[in-house]
Amino acid sequence: MRGLFQDSGSPDQRVTVMLAAFEGWNDAGEAASDALKFMGRYWGSEKVATIDADEFYDFQFTRPVVTRNAQGQRKIKWPTTRISKASVPDTNVDLILVHGVEPSYKWRAYTAELIASAKELNVDCIILVGALLADVPHTRPIPVTVTSDDDLMRENLDIEPSTYEGPIGIVGVLSEVGSLADIPTLSLWAAVPHYVGQSPSPKAQLALLNRLEEMLHLSLDMHVLVEESEAWERGVDELAIEDPEVAAYVRQLEEAKDTADLPEASGESIAREFERYLKKRRKD
């Protein structure tokens, strides 16, 4: 499997990667934001900055929420963007994790502020993580699409540029602003079955994390998430059985997916799956 840092120079040189996900339009089933939260907890990320909410949010649309601590004290939690940092043990990789709610206003000023933070933190590249609703079956592997407009990234990862045209969210804007700032940027999108698009979506979250593992050459213990994904799939199976129309629709999606995947049984795809198997076996 090709990795992101094939040409990064000395193995002792630190590499800083910014990963960003935003709740809302770009985050079907909250798979993208949950994936970043998982990584933050796993490697004990610590907050290094926030982006002030007042400038960028309509609080009638993205409302603050009230929380209470163990002593019952009341606190208002405002929508914001949290920037945290984690150093991955036994590697030369530092992660900058950006998690927030898609802003309501001033997207150009908002993304400019994020890019300024990326420059201050010496970010080498940006990975934008999203999830979208799609006509895919829950019984098959969740498709994850990786695209970039950066020539070196496309060469290292053997990926294509995006050909999408149409409405975009904050992830799409940040992708362009990052490229204009000469920070190599790529986008990672999971396709969530639209008929079960509610949160959580552990199978899509797991698919994103597996792809990030491969690209960053990192290792995550995700056995709990694997169990949650399997339980989620069993639960959707049970719902489909109870509704013949849904069951028939899922079979249609399965047939379409299996037919589309037939040409992909190439040596490269088989090698990729075998490499993943060996990696998991070594960990076990």
pTM: 0.86
Q: Which amino acid is at 85?
A: K
pLDDT (tens digit per residue) in 77-98: 888 899 999 999 999 999 999 9
Determine how many CB atoms are found less than 10 A away from the CB of residue 211. 21
pLDDT, tens only, 199-226: 999 999 999 999 999 999 999 999 999 9
Helix axis angle for 202-216 and 267-283, nearest 10°, is: 90
Helix (H) or strand (E) holding 101: strand 93-101
Q: What is the pLDDT of residues 136-165, one digit of tens each?
A: 999 999 999 999 999 988 988 888 888 888
What average pLDDT does the chain have? 89
Give me the pLDDT at residue 258, please: 85
